[in-house]
């Protein structure tokens, strides 16, 4: 009975011996992605200015 318990414990713990997670290496952004990011940043700033002006008038 004791050997059966050891066998079951070993089979349950088998995933613990799995290979560790290797982080993926991030790829560089393309020029198109950087352009869209810059446009999104400018749109966000413009919208924040518009909201600030709208709130300050009231």
pLDDT tens, residue by residue, 1-58: 777 888 777 777 766 666 777 888 888 888 999 999 999 999 999 999 999 999 997 6
Domain region containing 51: 1-16+32-56
Q: How many residues would you count in the chain?
A: 58
Q: Is residue 4 part of a domain?
A: yes
CA distance 14 to 6: 12
Q: Is residue 22 part of a domain?
A: no
Q: Is residue 23 part of a domain?
A: no
Q: Is residue 3 part of a domain?
A: yes
Token look-up 């999104």 returns 40
Q: Provide CB contacts within 8 A for 29, sequence distance 6+.
A: 37
Number of folded domains in the chain?
1
Q: pTM, whole model, 2 decimals?
A: 0.51
pLDDT of residue 24: 85
CA distance 30 to 36: 10
pLDDT of residue 14: 65
Q: Is residue 25 part of a domain?
A: no
State the sign of the Cα–Cα–Cα–Cα dihedral 30, 34, 35, 40.
Answer: positive
């Amino acid at each position: 009975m004791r050997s059966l318990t050891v066998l079951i414990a070993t089979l349950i713990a088998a995933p613990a011996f799995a290979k560790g997670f290797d982080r993926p290496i991030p790829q560089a952004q393309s020029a198109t992605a950087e352009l869209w990011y810059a446009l999104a940043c400018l749109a966000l700033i413009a919208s924040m200015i518009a909201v600030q002006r709208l709130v300050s008038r009231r």
